[in-house]
Structure 1
Amino acid sequence: MNNIYVIHALLAAALFGASTPFAKLLVGEMSPWLLAGLLYLGSGLGLAASRLIRDRSWTPSGLAEGEWRWLLGAIFFGGVLGPLALMFGLTRTSAATASLLLNLEAVLTAAIAWVVFRRTPTAASCSACSRSWPEVSCCPGRVVKRARTIGSVR
């Protein structure tokens, strides 16, 4: 595996984790609607720029015709409603609580995949869930070695 991908993944996780406390600082200064729009506009522009640099032009995605509605649904829920809910939630809760709830998002996404879409839990997904929230048993019917935690999140 190329180490540059690991570095990119860790950098993305660090930036995502840092975005909630910084957004909490800004949400008192501007409308949650405007802040959500600006944060995800910046994300979209950054992704477009990285794709233009990587491909050296704008190339079609190659997405199958039947998958466009899934992509549009993901954009609507994850790129419009999700950020809005986060910004409005930050007006009513602390940044630490919001960050912990965002951490629970991965566990709940996996649970939705298992229950709604009948995806089989894999060892990797169970391991990721147990590392995200060690106290939550998110893999019924599977024995998962609990990850060691550094400190307590209680």
Structure 2
Amino acid sequence: MTKSLFLLSLIGVSLMACDKEEKADQMQARTLIQNEQPPVGSEDFYINSVQREGNVLKVNVKHGGACSPTPQFDLYEVGGEDPCSMPVTVQVVFKNPAEECVQEKESELYFDISALKKNTANCQDKLQVLGYEEWVDL
């Protein structure tokens, strides 16, 4: 009986640990950067998914640099000066990868795109995130 309880508690702890590892880190919402050229950032990330929820663009990424306690990502509006150009294009930039760290992790990034939606309100309804194939409805 004692052995069974020990095994059950060990299995429970293992399941909880696995579940915890699979969850993505959630990053604080950041503001869209406009009227600036994006800096050269690391390409050591992959965009898993993109969703718009109201004025927030949610981007799920898998990236290296899991050893860094605070990976930083920014979102830049790129493209022509005409806000009605097809489509509105943005670029995610990974600012501080830990170069010596090979561990990967997943993060949920949140970006406030209210300014972008305001600028394109009468002419554009699609958003393209560079590095992600599908366009997102604005």
Q: Same fold (TM over 0.5)?
A: no
Query: Which band: TM-score by shorter chain?
Result: under 0.3
TM-score where L is the length of structure 2? 0.24
Which one has the bigger helix percentage?
Answer: 1
Largest Rg, 1 or 2: 2
Structure with greater strand share of residues? 2
- Choose between structure 1 and 2 for higher RCO, CA contacts under 8 A separated by at least 6 residues: 2
